[in-house]
Structure 1
Amino acid sequence: MRSFDSLKKEWLKDEKFAKVYYSKRPLRVFVREIKSARLEKGLSQKDLAEAIGTSQGVISRIESGRQNISYEMMNKLSRALGHRMNGPDS
């Protein structure tokens, strides 16, 4: 069985895949930072979900990259975890 890294390397040779993959990088970074902040604060996914008025399942899907996320949701997550969102003009 091939590793994920070898598959990703092969997939990135496809121009369309590469374009989408690289366009999603800021979101992947945001999600990684939010998850890290949640863990640092000792919060469970359920705790965070309750703090922003959503379900634990939504937080799980966001953290695993399986949930589309709006700017409003990003803002809620950031506020709940005490992080400041930087916009393009920040």
Structure 2
Amino acid sequence: MTDFADLKKQWMKDPDFVAEYEALAPEFAVAGALIKARTLAGMTQADVAEKMKVTQSRIAKMEGGINVSVDALKRYAEATGTTLNISLDPMG
């Protein structure tokens, strides 16, 4: 299994990918954090879905950055044994 961080490192060598990634950074940040939490917990999307009492497709959508509520993020964190931290940082 290829590690997400290794793939990202490889992809970040491509200037076109970097430009698109930076344009979508907020969505990728959430998606990446969810996938990382699940992976570090040794869980599948189905495992997280079962703990959250939702479908696996809902987890896939969350991990794809589709309009995720703070409540859903809290439940995801609990399911993966992590904590949710939200910050608003200055732009620039």
Count of aligned positions: 74
Alignment-derived partner of residue 75 in structure 1? 74
% same residue? 23
**Cα-Cα RMSD:** 2.8
Specify the structure having the higher radius of gyration (Cα): 1
CA gap 1:47/1:86 in 2 versus in 1, 3 angstroms: same
Q: Structure 1 length normalisation: TM-score?
A: 0.63
Compare relative contact order (CA 8 Å, sep 6+) and give the higher one, 1 or 2. Answer: 2
Letter in 1 for 2:34: I
CA gap 1:4/1:63 in 2 versus in 1, 3 angstroms: farther
Q: Structure 2 length normalisation: TM-score?
A: 0.62
Alignment-derived partner of residue 63 in structure 1? 63
Aligned runs of 1:1-90 on 2, under 5 Å?
Answer: 5=16, 9=19, 21=23, 25=26, 27-65=27-65, 67-88=66-87
Structure 1 residue 39: Cα displacement: 1.4
Q: Which runs of 4+ in 1 moved over 3 A?
A: none
Structure 1 residue 41: Cα displacement: 1.9
